Every structure is written in C-alpha cells, then in structure tokens.
A and B are shown apart, each in its own frame.
Chain A
Amino acid sequence: MMDKKPLFEEDKFFLSRRKFMAIGAAFVATLALPVAWFSNKLARRNDYIKARSAGLYQDDMIAKQRVSHANSAVEKYYAEFGGEPLGHKSHDLLHTHFVDRTKLKS
C-alpha cells in the first residue's frame, strides 16, 4: 500500500507566519550569540600578555640602567674577579649544563 502516492500531508501553514519568524529568529540568535561571544574571547585571549609586555617596555623606558653590560655590579665583578666576559673563569662559574629531564608518557 505504501507504493501509493500519499493522500494526506502536513498542512504547511499550521504555524502562523509571525510564530514561524519568531522561532526562526530565536534559533538563529541562539546560535549566533555564543559564536559572537566566543569570537570575542578568542580575539582578546592575549590581551593580558600584551598588557604585561607594554608594562615592561614602560618600566624599561624610565629605568636608569637599560642594558645589563652597563650594570655597575657586573662591571665590578669583571674588573675585580671574573676577568673578561666569556673568559675561562666566568664560563666555569656562570654557565650551566643542559640535562634532559623530559618524561615522555609513551
């Protein structure tokens, strides 16, 4: 019997146009609002890093000593004890060695 063409179907207009548009708009808004909110969060995800970076630059601008090799304590260390930068004694005292401490799960 189901080879036959249907004799009945749903009335396509059982929902009023006003209700159809209201539900359609609510559906689209429900999908669009979280997407907009998420896009905003994604776009602003690095704001705190940028703010921190700007703060460091600002500190740098007003600092009395802006480069490490002009640091008076470092100058004094080389003059009175360490010899020259990258020298043998400084290398032994100040440089460290790499040790691989990575623990892989697989």
Chain B
Amino acid sequence: MSSTQHDTRPILKHPLNVRVFHYILLLTFLPLAATGLLLFFKPLSQNAMQLTYDIHMIAGVGLTLNAVLFTLLAFDRVVLFIARVFSFSERDVKWFMVLGGYPQKFLLGKTVPIPPMNKYNSGQKLFGACVLIGGALLIVSGFVLWLIPHAAPRDMVWGLGQIHLVAGLVLTAFLPIHLFLAVYRFDDFKAMMLHGKVPYHDAAQYTPLWVEKEIVAVKQQPAEAAKN
C-alpha cells in the first residue's frame, strides 16, 4: 500500500484561466462538431441548413476569440502546454504498448503496470498535439472558407476545405473518447470543471513524475504566515 494513498492535500492542477479557456472551448466546440457534421451530410431543409450554418459561424468566431485571447493573455500556459505535449520518451512507447492499461482494465478486469507519467499521460499528449495542430488548421481554414473563398486561389481553397474536413472529423472522433476518459478520471474531471485541485493521492497515482519533478509547496503570504 502506498503511503500517499489517502493523502488528500490539494494540488492546484488547472489554474482559473485554463478552466475558463476549457469551458469556452467546450461550449464552442460541441456546437461546432454537431453543426459541422450536419453541414457535411446536409440532412435538413434549406432554412434549417442556413440556421446550422449561422450557428457554425458564430461558434467558430467564439472559439477563435477564445484561442487568440488565451494565447495572448496566458502565453506562458501555451508554451508549457506545447513543451509537455511534444515531449517524447521511451515511457510513451511503453505506455502505447499497453494503451495506458485501459483496455485491460475495462475489458479483462486486469491491472497491468504502466510507466510513470508526467502531468499528461501519453494518450493525453497525443490528443493535446492533435487539438493544438488541428485547432489551428481548423481556425485558419475556416476563416478562409468563410470570408474569402472567392479571393483566395482556387486550388488553395479546395485544399483548405479538405484540411478543414479531415481536421474536424479527427477532433470530433476524439471527442467521445476524451469525454469518457475525463469522467473516468473523476478527480481530474472535478478539478477541470470546478475547483482546479486534485488530491495528492490521485496525482501521485496517475502523474507521479509531475508530482516528483514539478510540484512545489505553495508559498504562504506574509499575513497568512503570521496567523499560523
């Protein structure tokens, strides 16, 4: 039994600006994915398709503003995120060899050893890289397709349309997996959706390298220190 099993001391995992960004991303990407699929398959009447189109544009502008403002106002978080999701080591290969132990756990009820992970596990890193690259491609291609499809070179518009389609489908395909695993890791889910904090035992179990290398005690303010 680990000595950290019942350690409930809170670690701040997701700061407020990240949570706000994630909430707006959630509220804009879900309608974008739904309306994107509708725009692709065109199952509705002319008026309903027009409404779908309008919702897609509005949500797209919202997502873009969110991404741009977060990049400008929290550039350090963006850089740290990039540093984390594009780091690669032998541990990631070993993690993917057992797929994080999830299939064994869900399908066979077995627990297999998995290599120690940093703040994000290898699957989350892959997802993060796809969101970063795919999101940037979706934003750029979306704006060209929306605003200047007749001014941009014809072949480029066609290419951007294909990129928009593939990137949108890939990220939409990730969505159910992300939602399922997010709820499965319930302490992390509550941290992202509510208060930002995970208990020490959860962090030590799933993200031991993060706890070991990057976590420090919060410095007390002078007034608080005087009280204690």
Binding site for B on A (CB under 8 A): 1-12, 14-15, 19-20, 23-24, 27, 31, 34-35, 38, 41-42, 45, 106
Contact = CB atoms under 8 A, between A and B. Distances in A.
B78 A9 contact: no
B83 A42 contact: no
B133 to A, nearest CB: 9
Contacts of B10: 1-2, 4-8
Interface of B: 8-12, 46, 75-76, 78-80, 82-83, 119, 136, 140, 144, 148, 151-153, 156, 190, 194-197, 199-200, 213-218
Contacts of A3: 195
B6 to A, nearest CB: 11
A96 to B, nearest CB: 30
Contact of A41 (B82, B153, B218): B153
Given A6-B10, A7-B218, A10-B119, 15 more contacts: A2-B195, A2-B197, A7-B9, A7-B217, A8-B9, A8-B11, A8-B217, A12-B76, A20-B79, A23-B82, A23-B83, A27-B79, A42-B151, A45-B151, A45-B153
A15 B80 contact: yes
Given A19-B83, A24-B75, A27-B82, A10 B151 contact: no
